[in-house]
Structures are given as structure tokens and as C-alpha cells.
Amino acid sequence: MSAAVAAPNRHRFALTRRQLRDRVTHLKTLLARTRDQAAHDAAQADRDLQAAHEANHVLRARLAAADELIRNQQQQLHAQGVDLSVTRKQLQAAEAMGRRVGDDLRAAQAALANHNRVDVPPMVRDTSDALDQPTVPVPVMTLHAALGRTA
């Protein structure tokens, strides 16, 4: 290509002074907005960080209070554990004594039953159970009659 043909294309993208000034002003405005937004974002990040620090302090205080409560409860349980072990030993002793008394009571009841026992010879004993014998006639009917149907 010749230089004469290339020259008009070169000027096609050239900007006037006013266009350049407008473009620079626009870019400065964008830069100022970006700086303002960055400052706003940084301030918001600082506020969020401060809120996170405060929440962290509150959380640590709550955790410390919970740890203190757990320590107090563990100390109370430990103190009660001694009392519970004494009570457990007392209960075990009472249970053993109850077993001995229960065994003695059962032996005394068996001795009393043997003492009051009337020996009946086997020939005189009634082997039929009166509860197994029906005392009234048992009605017999079909299922249809019981349901009230006529088939």
C-alpha cells in the first residue's frame, strides 16, 4: 500500500483535543469513583472487622462463663460423688441384709406351711378340676346363625 492510502486511515482513529479532554475527564471521574468506592469498602471492612472482634470478645466471655459453670458443676459432682459412694455402700449393705432377712422369712414360711400341712393319702385326693367342667349347657350353632344370617 502506498503512503497516501494509509494516511486517511491513520487519521480516522485520531481524537480532537476536546474529545481527548472529555475522555481524560471521564477517566478521572471513574478513578475518583473507584477511589471513593474503595474507601467506602475499606471503611465497611474496618467496621465488619471491629464487629467481628467485638463478637469474638463476647464469645470468649461466654465460653469462659461456660467453662466456669462446667468447673463448678464438676466440683459439685465430685463432692456429691463421695456422698453417693457412701450411700451406695450403705445400700449394698442394706440389700445384703434384706437378702438374709428374706431368706430367713422364706424359711420360716416354709416351716410354718410344713407345720400346718395336713397329709391326705393319695387315694382320697380329688384329681378332677371343677373349673374345667361346664356348669351350663354350651349352645352350638353355625357361623351364619351366630351372625344372624340365613343362608
* Domain locations in the chain as residue ranges: 10-112
Q: Is the pLDDT of residue 112 over 60?
A: yes
- Mean per-residue pLDDT for 91-113? 81
78 or 128, higher pLDDT: 78
29 pLDDT band, cuts 50/70/90, is very high
- Mean per-residue pLDDT for 129-149? 71
DSSP 132: G
C-alpha distances out from residue 106 to 39, 56, 95, Å: 93, 69, 16
63, 55 Cβ separation under 8 angstroms:
no
Q: Is the pLDDT of residue 91 over 90?
A: no
144, 151 Cβ separation under 8 angstroms:
yes
Q: Is the pLDDT of residue 129 over 90?
A: no
- Mean per-residue pLDDT for 74-92? 74
